[in-house]
């Protein structure tokens, strides 16, 4: 068992005292970020990334990934106690979590949510531990054509799977690619789309875009919904935790189902948010008493939380092995790896063993630490939410501005953050998806490079994308994903015609 | 555009924002395509030229946002809502101070500008007392100053006040 040996070595790396300290800081910051409106996993990591440039990469990624786990945990607190989803993936948790809190069962709901998150994450980490090395070994055989095909599949599945209109998904994605292309072309050295502005030479930083789109954009959306935070209070004591755990054991089938949904959605770029909704919907449909959902069923908390955490964690699998992140936060982490000089992808498992296995081991420890931290500190987080938005709001704006400035020490970036913020608000209101845009912005250069290399190999002929069974299958799947919405539209038209004929 | 006769509670329709964003994206698509032509979209001596990939990106951006705009024009009569006027007013209430804040960072530095932003918000929207407002508005930037300039040794934009104290 090579993996187990590597993993134990990884525990040796992760369980040093400074790294455990970074984990604790990361989890605490992460829960804080998850609790505060306008700060989420993606932009929280983006803001803190510049501060880690001087740290050693292993410690830095351990801290940043712990922020991510913390944010996943923190989202549940606001959903259950305040009926405000701190994160998009905890929207489904409010359906049954808040009613439970209203009935005085807040402690049970929180325990269920945290435990489910923990279970979801653990299964996903197990999946990563045992499949990542295999996938990486397999991906070592990939050439540029295969890589571009996988990237194409990633983006095509956004078009095929997202519930937003396909034209808007494509537009958002292409905007991301276009912004990524601005600046110096790395191959020919030519300037592209700078139109004479020296500030554009280095292109648009995806960190700025993430802080603007998710941070400022989120604040604008929050403002719109009004600022009255009225919440239930909660204290968790050990007896309740124990009793709830006993009750949760009965729902093991639900856990397994939700883990499966979550892992699948995390690896394919569906992400945590659709995973949580899907899992909630499945739990309701398969329940003997679907009517009672939405009125405070513990299953209604377990299903979305397990799936969201499983998806959020397994999103790191394609990021580490293929260099393709499964979620916006994973995309930001990937950007971090690039900045630290680590090229994500199959070679990472060969060249940076210590880093990879340290990170994977830290996922186990980080989630255990996270579970303990959130179970013991819930009342304090709830107290933070009682601070009025008229204080929290401007402080978050200041944090975003500082975060945007520190990326490149440039005021131009702060102005761009505001532009991206307004864009994020408009996009959200008009149902343009943000995730594919961010992914395109992060992956743009890589996708372009592999496309050009593939074209060089084939002397400009597209036939390279079906030159062997492997690349042909991936490219075929991608094209299937792209035309998927067309099939749905055709079915719609046919049904409408039928209706008209019937009348 | 939106008649003055509109009632106060009348929600803003989705059609103008939708069309505006789609047209903006189309314009960006045109920018990308024209610039790709400038640097060359074809095949150079050493392989694909700089505009080879962006050209298709721009084209796809133009087509997809054009489709959105076209669909919006085709159902111009429908009255879907973008947002309530009251909601837009609260968004505006945070957007313009934010814009001025970023403008003020240039002359005043980030710490003084942050203090002003927090104070404005707490007084105007929170109706907090002067004592609390002063404490938070001065305390938060001061804490950031210590964390960044002292602890992390990250230099943020500073203005005349910091210069006066010798930073």
Judge: A178–B35 Cβ closer than 8 Å, yes or no: no
A-chain residues near B136 (CB < 8 A) = 391
The verdict on B69 and B19 lying in the same domain is yes
Judge: A388–B136 Cβ closer than 8 Å, yes or no: no
Pairwise pLDDT comparison (A74 vs B134), residue with the higher score: B134
> Which of B49, B83, B117 corresponds to the end of one domain?
B83
- The predicted pLDDT at position A401 comes to 93
Question: What CA–CA distance (Å, rounded) separates A432 from A428?
Answer: 6
Q: What is the dihedral of CA A78, A20, A13, A325, to 10 degrees?
A: 20
Judge: B87–A224 Cβ closer than 8 Å, yes or no: yes
The verdict on B60 and B36 lying in the same domain is yes
DSSP state of A49: G
> Which of B32, B66, B83 corresponds to the end of one domain?
B83
- The predicted pLDDT at position B2 comes to 43
Q: Which residue of A has its CA nearest to B20?
A: A426
Q: Is B121 on the interface with A (CB under 8 A)?
A: yes
What does pTM read for this prediction? 0.84
Structure tokens at B153: 């040794």
A-chain residues near B49 (CB < 8 A) = 188
The verdict on B32 and B57 lying in the same domain is yes
Judge: A456–B118 Cβ closer than 8 Å, yes or no: no
Per-residue pLDDT of chain A (503 residues; tens, 9 = 90+): 677 888 888 888 788 888 889 999 999 998 888 887 767 778 888 888 888 877 888 888 888 888 888 888 888 888 888 777 766 677 788 888 888 888 888 888 888 999 998 999 999 999 988 888 888 888 888 888 888 888 888 888 778 777 778 899 999 999 999 998 898 887 777 888 888 788 888 788 888 888 898 889 888 887 877 655 556 666 777 788 888 888 888 888 888 888 888 888 877 766 677 788 888 888 888 888 888 888 888 888 899 889 988 988 888 888 888 888 877 788 888 888 888 888 888 888 888 888 888 888 888 988 898 998 888 888 788 777 778 888 888 988 999 999 899 888 889 999 999 999 999 999 989 989 888 888 888 888 888 888 888 888 888 788 888 888 888 888 888 888 888 878 877 888 888 888 777 65
The verdict on B58 and B114 lying in the same domain is no
- The predicted pLDDT at position B68 comes to 93
Q: Is B17 on the interface with A (CB under 8 A)?
A: yes
Judge: A426–B148 Cβ closer than 8 Å, yes or no: no
Confidence of residue B9 (pLDDT cuts 50, 70, 90): low
User: Chain A closest CA to B5's CA: distance in Å?
Assistant: 24
User: Chain A closest CA to B165's CA: distance in Å?
Assistant: 21
B-chain residues near A429 (CB < 8 A) = 17, 82-83
Question: What CA–CA distance (Å, rounded) separates A313 from A298?
Answer: 23
- The predicted pLDDT at position A414 comes to 94
Contact A398/B144 with Cβ under 8 angstroms?
A: yes
User: Chain A closest CA to B57's CA: distance in Å?
Assistant: 6
Question: What CA–CA distance (Å, rounded) separates A213 from B100?
Answer: 19
A-chain residues near B35 (CB < 8 A) = 192-193, 195
Does residue A156 form part of some domain? no
User: Chain A closest CA to B118's CA: distance in Å?
Assistant: 5
Q: What three-state secondary structure class fits B12?
A: strand
Does residue B148 form part of some domain? yes
The verdict on B160 and B90 lying in the same domain is yes
The verdict on B45 and B97 lying in the same domain is no
Q: What three-state secondary structure class fits A15?
A: coil
Mean pLDDT, residues B135-139 taken together = 93
Mutate to test the interface with A, among B17, B27, B47 (most CBs of A within 10 A): B47
Does residue B4 form part of some domain? no
B-chain residues near A187 (CB < 8 A) = 47, 50
Secondary structure in 3-state letters for A450-465:
HHHHHHHHHCCCHHHH
The verdict on B30 and B97 lying in the same domain is no
Q: How many domains does chain A have?
A: 1
Closest CA to A217 of A8, A40, A478: A40
Judge: B90–A401 Cβ closer than 8 Å, yes or no: no
Q: Which residue of B has its CA nearest to A218?
A: B91
The verdict on B92 and B158 lying in the same domain is yes
- The predicted pLDDT at position A232 comes to 67
> Which of B83, B98, B115 corresponds to the end of one domain?
B83
- The predicted pLDDT at position B109 comes to 92
B-chain residues near A402 (CB < 8 A) = 110, 144, 148, 156
Structural domain boundaries, residue B126? 85-164
Q: Is B138 on the interface with A (CB under 8 A)?
A: no
Does residue A450 form part of some domain? no
Pairwise pLDDT comparison (A87 vs B125), residue with the higher score: B125
Judge: A195–B35 Cβ closer than 8 Å, yes or no: yes
Does residue A385 form part of some domain? yes
Judge: B102–A415 Cβ closer than 8 Å, yes or no: yes
- The predicted pLDDT at position A54 comes to 78
Of A401, A418, A460, the CB nearest to B110: A401
The verdict on B61 and B98 lying in the same domain is no
Judge: A167–B102 Cβ closer than 8 Å, yes or no: no
Does residue B7 form part of some domain? no
- Tell me the CA distances in angstroms from A430 to A424, B60, B67, one per residue in order: 10, 19, 15
Q: What three-state secondary structure class fits B136?
A: helix
- Whether the pLDDT of residue B155 is over 90: the answer is no
- The predicted pLDDT at position B3 comes to 42
Q: Which residue of A has its CA nearest to B111?
A: A398
Q: Which of residues 52-91 of B touch A (CB under 8 A)?
A: 52-54, 57-58, 60-61, 64-65, 67-68, 71, 82-83, 87-88, 90-91
- The predicted pLDDT at position A489 comes to 79
Judge: A177–B91 Cβ closer than 8 Å, yes or no: no
- The predicted pLDDT at position A234 comes to 67
The verdict on B115 and B143 lying in the same domain is yes
Q: Which residue of B has its CA nearest to A416?
A: B102
Question: What CA–CA distance (Å, rounded) separates A391 from A400?
Answer: 15
Of A188, A402, A427, the CB nearest to B156: A402
- The predicted pLDDT at position A229 comes to 55
Cα A392–Cα A33–Cα A16 angle in degrees, nearest 5: 140
A-chain residues near B32 (CB < 8 A) = 178, 181, 193
What are the DSSP calls for A141-200, one per residue?
T--HHHHHHHHHHHHHHHHHH-SS-HHHHHHHHHHHHHHHH-EE-TTT--EES-TT-GGG
- The predicted pLDDT at position B7 comes to 44
Judge: A430–B120 Cβ closer than 8 Å, yes or no: no
Q: Which residue of A has its CA nearest to B42?
A: A460
Q: Is B141 on the interface with A (CB under 8 A)?
A: yes
Structural domain boundaries, residue A395? 2-141+244-410
What are the DSSP calls for A198-216, one per residue?
GGGTT---HHHHHIIIIII
Does residue B1 form part of some domain? no
Q: How many domains does chain B have?
A: 2
- Whether the pLDDT of residue B22 is over 90: the answer is yes
- The predicted pLDDT at position A1 comes to 60
The verdict on B70 and B99 lying in the same domain is no
Question: What CA–CA distance (Å, rounded) separates A435 from A326?
Answer: 10
User: How many CB contacts within 8 angstroms connect chain A with chain B?
Assistant: 168
A-chain residues near B152 (CB < 8 A) = 51
Q: Which residue of A has its CA nearest to B87?
A: A224
Confidence of residue B5 (pLDDT cuts 50, 70, 90): very low
The verdict on B98 and B72 lying in the same domain is no
- The predicted pLDDT at position B96 comes to 93
- B13's enclosing H/E stretch is strand B12-13
B-chain residues near A193 (CB < 8 A) = 31-32, 35, 54
- For A404, other C-beta atoms within 10 Å of its C-beta total 34
Mutate to test the interface with B, among A158, A182, A193, A216 (most CBs of B within 10 A): A193
Does residue B157 form part of some domain? yes
Judge: A455–B140 Cβ closer than 8 Å, yes or no: no
Q: Is B131 on the interface with A (CB under 8 A)?
A: no
The interface predicted TM-score (ipTM) is: 0.90
């Amino acid at each position: 068992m090579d993996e187990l040996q590597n993993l134990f070595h990884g525990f040796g790396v992760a369980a040093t005292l400074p790294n455990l300290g970074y984990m604790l800081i990361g989890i605490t910051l992460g829960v804080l970020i998850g609790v505060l409106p306008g700060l989420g996993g993606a932009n929280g990591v983006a803001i803190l990334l510049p501060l880690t440039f001087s740290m050693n990469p292993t410690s830095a990624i351990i801290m940043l990934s712990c922020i991510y786990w913390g944010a996943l945990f923190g989202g549940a607190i606001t959903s259950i106690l305040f009926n405000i989803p701190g994160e998009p993936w905890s929207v489904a948790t409010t359906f049954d979590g808040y009613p439970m809190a209203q009935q005085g069962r807040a402690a049970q709901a929180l325990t269920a949510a945290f435990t489910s998150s923990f279970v979801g994450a653990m299964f996903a980490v197990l999946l990563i531990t045992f499949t990542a090395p295999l996938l990486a070994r397999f991906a070592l055989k990939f050439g540029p054509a295969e890589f571009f095909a996988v990237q194409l599949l990633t983006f095509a599945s956004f078009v095929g799977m997202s519930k937003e209109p396909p034209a808007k998904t494509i537009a958002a994605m292409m905007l991301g690619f276009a912004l990524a292309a601005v600046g110096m072309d790395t191959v020919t050295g030519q300037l592209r789309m700078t139109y004479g502005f020296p500030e554009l030479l280095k292109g648009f930083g995806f960190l700025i875009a993430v802080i603007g789109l998710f941070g400022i954009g989120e604040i604008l959306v929050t403002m719109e919904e009004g600022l009255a935070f009225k919440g239930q209070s909660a204290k968790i004591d050990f007896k309740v935790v124990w009793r709830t755990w006993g009750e949760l054991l009965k729902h093991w089938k639900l856990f397994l189902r939700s883990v499966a949904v979550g892992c699948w959605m995390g690896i394919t770029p569906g992400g945590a948010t659709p995973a949580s909704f899907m899992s909630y919907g499945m739990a309701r449909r398969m329940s003997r008493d679907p009517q009672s959902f939405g009125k405070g069923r513990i299953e209604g908390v377990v299903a979305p939380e397990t799936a969201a955490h499983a998806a959020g964690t397994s999103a790191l699998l394609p990021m580490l092995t293929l260099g393709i992140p499964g979620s916006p936060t994973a995309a930001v982490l990937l950007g971090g790896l690039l900045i630290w000089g680590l090229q994500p992808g199959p070679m990472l498992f060969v060249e940076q063993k210590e880093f990879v296995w340290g990170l994977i081991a830290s996922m186990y420890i980080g989630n255990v630490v996270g579970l303990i931290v959130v179970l013991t500190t819930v009342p304090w987080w709830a107290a933070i939410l009682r601070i009025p938005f008229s204080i929290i709001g401007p402080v978050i704006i200041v944090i975003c501005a500082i975060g945007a400035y520190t990326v490149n020490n440039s005021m131009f970036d702060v102005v761009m953050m505001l532009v991206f913020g307004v864009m994020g608000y408009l996009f959200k209101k008009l149902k343009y998806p943000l995730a594919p845009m961010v992914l395109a912005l992060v992956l743009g250069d890589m996708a372009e490079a592999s496309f050009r290399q593939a074209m060089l190999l084939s002397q400009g002929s597209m036939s390279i994308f079906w030159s062997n069974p492997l690349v042909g299958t991936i490219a075929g799947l991608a094209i299937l994903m792209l035309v998927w919405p067309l099939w749905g539209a055709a079915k719609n038209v046919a049904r409408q015609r039928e209706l008209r004929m019937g009348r | 555009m939106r008649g003055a006769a509109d009632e106060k509670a009348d929600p803003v329709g989705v059609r103008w924002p939708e069309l505006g964003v789609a047209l903006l994206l189309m314009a960006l698509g045109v920018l990308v395509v024209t610039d790709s032509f400038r640097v060359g979209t074809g095949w150079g001596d050493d392989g694909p030229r700089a505009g080879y990939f962006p050209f298709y990106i721009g084209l796809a951006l133009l087509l997809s946002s054009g489709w959105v705009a076209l669909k919006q024009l085709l159902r111009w009569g429908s009255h879907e809502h973008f947002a309530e006027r009251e909601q837009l007013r609260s968004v505006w209430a945070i957007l313009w101070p934010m814009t001025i804040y970023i403008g003020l960072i240039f002359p005043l530095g980030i710490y003084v500008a942050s203090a002003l932003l927090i104070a404005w918000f707490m007084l105007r929207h929170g109706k907090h007392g002067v004592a609390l407002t002063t404490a938070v508005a001065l305390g938060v930037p001061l804490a950031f100053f210590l964390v960044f300039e002292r602890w992390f040794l990250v230099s943020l934009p500073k203005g005349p006040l910091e210069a006066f104290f010798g930073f």
